[in-house]
């Protein structure tokens, strides 16, 4: 049951005075969990980056060799004060990340420790700016995407779920959660069968996926359209990344308030926890290593899509 942790996370984050330190206090009773907070100043304000490490029984933090799994709560900000009052739709990624960490930490106290380490990252900003975007306005961030990736995409993560509110578009018309194809080193790979299986088990519904384009996996700031920042972690790592979108049937702006649905966020949390269990014990793969080796053998590196690119020569 993850609804309890989801409600706890929403309650702490729906506050004009919330900070990374206040989120850290949620984990004060979990002796094995390590939480670090770092405040970073940007051109448009500041935010608190938070990193939560839940060690595994055979995790690398304990000298073991089990895979390390990453959960990134991706967002611009949890609030848009003073122009908007209350928690915004864009906050769902942070809520899901914090709730996932709370659930994994609580499981350890009840004898259910994962095999490998899980690292959860997100950032806490109750007064982020907004910016124009089609079809509806987006939340902006006080720091740029390179800074965000620096603190949220850590080298130890060997596979990553990036959870993000993805409601400000006309591509997805499903309320709940949806997953993307796997992205790795500039390639958009096929959707993981393991993730589809886990998603159907965790939600009790048919799996839902959403399309992405090459533009979506390139870095922000290159003047190309992106569905949102859900796959921006993929530009900063060689690890496979899958986007977990928290979705709506209607088009909802990221800066909209009263638009966070607890049960949808809980679905994302439940899915993330179940994937973490299997990814760290080796029963879930986000991509086929054989297929990736074959496609790179045939077509070469696509890592240029992880960069800002360069202007093509005129013919």
- Give first-to-last CA distance, the chain, whole Å: 60
The per-residue DSSP string of 44-99 comes to TEEEEEEEEEE--TT-GGGT--PPPEEEEE--S-SBBTTTS-SBBGGGHHHHHHHH
Averaged pLDDT, groups of 10, the chain, 315 residues long: 96 97 97 97 92 98 96 95 92 98 98 98 93 74 93 98 95 96 98 98 97 96 93 98 97 92 98 98 97 98 94 70
Query: Among residues 36, 32, 74, 20, which one has the least CA distance to residue 272?
Result: 74
Instruction: Give pLDDT tens digits for 245-254.
Output: 999 999 999 8
The H helix count followed by the E strand count for the chain is 7, 11
- Domains, the chain, with CATH or none: 3-306 (3.40.630.10)
CA distance 315 to 309: 18
Rounded to 10 deg, the angle between the 92-109 and 3-13 helix axes is 130
Check residue 136 and give its pLDDT: 64
Under DSSP, the state recorded for 229 is: S
Query: Among residues 195, 188, 184, which one has the least CA distance to residue 236?
Result: 184
The first and second tokens of residue 203, run together, are 């939600």
Cis peptide leading into 82, omega within 30 of 0?
Answer: yes
Q: Quick check: 73 and 23 in contact, CB under 8 A?
A: no
Query: Among residues 293, 36, 4, 56, which one has the least CA distance to residue 151?
Result: 36
Spatial CB neighbours of 63, under 8 Å, sequence gap ≥ 6: none
Check residue 131 and give its pLDDT: 78
Check residue 1 and give its pLDDT: 82
Q: Strands 130-131, 176-179: parallel, antiparallel or unpaired by DSSP? A: unpaired
* Environment class of 249 (CB within 10 Å of its CB; exposed 0-12, middle 13-18, buried 19+): exposed
Instruction: Give pLDDT tens digits for 5-45.
Output: 999 999 999 999 999 999 999 999 999 999 999 999 988 88
The first and second tokens of residue 3, run together, are 């609804």
Half-sphere exposure of residue 74, counting CA atoms within 13 Å on the CB side?
A: 29
């Amino acid at each position: 049951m993850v609804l309890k942790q989801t409600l706890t996370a929403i309650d702490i984050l729906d506050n004009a005075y919330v900070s990374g330190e206040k989120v850290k206090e949620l984990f004060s009773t979990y002796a094995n969990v390590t939480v670090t907070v770092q405040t970073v100043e940007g051109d448009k304000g500041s935010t608190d980056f938070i990193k939560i490490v839940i060690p595994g029984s055979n995790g690398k933090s304990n000298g073991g060799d089990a895979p390390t799994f990453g959960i990134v709560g991706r967002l611009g900000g949890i609030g848009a004060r003073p122009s908007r009052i209350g928690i915004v739709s864009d906050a769902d990624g942070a809520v899901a990340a914090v709730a996932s960490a709370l659930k994994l930490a609580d499981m350890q106290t009840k004898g259910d420790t994962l095999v490998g380490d899980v690292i959860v990252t997100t950032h806490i900003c109750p007064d982020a700016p907004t910016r124009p975007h089609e079809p509806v306005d987006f939340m902006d961030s006080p720091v740029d995407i390179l800074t965000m990736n620096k603190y949220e995409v850590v080298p130890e993560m060997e596979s990553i779920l990036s959870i993000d509110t993805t409601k400000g578009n006309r591509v997805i018309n499903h309320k709940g959660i949806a997953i993307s194809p796997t992205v790795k080193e500039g390639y958009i790979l096929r959707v993981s069968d393991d993730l589809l299986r886990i998603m159907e088990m965790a939600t009790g519904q048919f799996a839902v996926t959403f399309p992405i384009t090459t533009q979506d996996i390139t870095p922000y700031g290159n003047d190309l359209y992106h569905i949102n920042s859900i796959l921006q972690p993929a530009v900063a790592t060689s690890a496979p990344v899958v986007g977990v979108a928290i979705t709506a049937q209607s088009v909802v702006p990221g800066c909209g308030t009263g638009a966070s649905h607890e049960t949808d966020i809980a679905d994302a949390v439940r899915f993330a926890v179940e994937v973490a269990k299997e990814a760290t014990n080796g029963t879930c793969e986000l991509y086929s290593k054989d297929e990736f080796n074959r496609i790179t053998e045939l077509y070469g590196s696509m890592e240029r899509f992880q960069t800002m690119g360069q202007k093509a020569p005129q013919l």
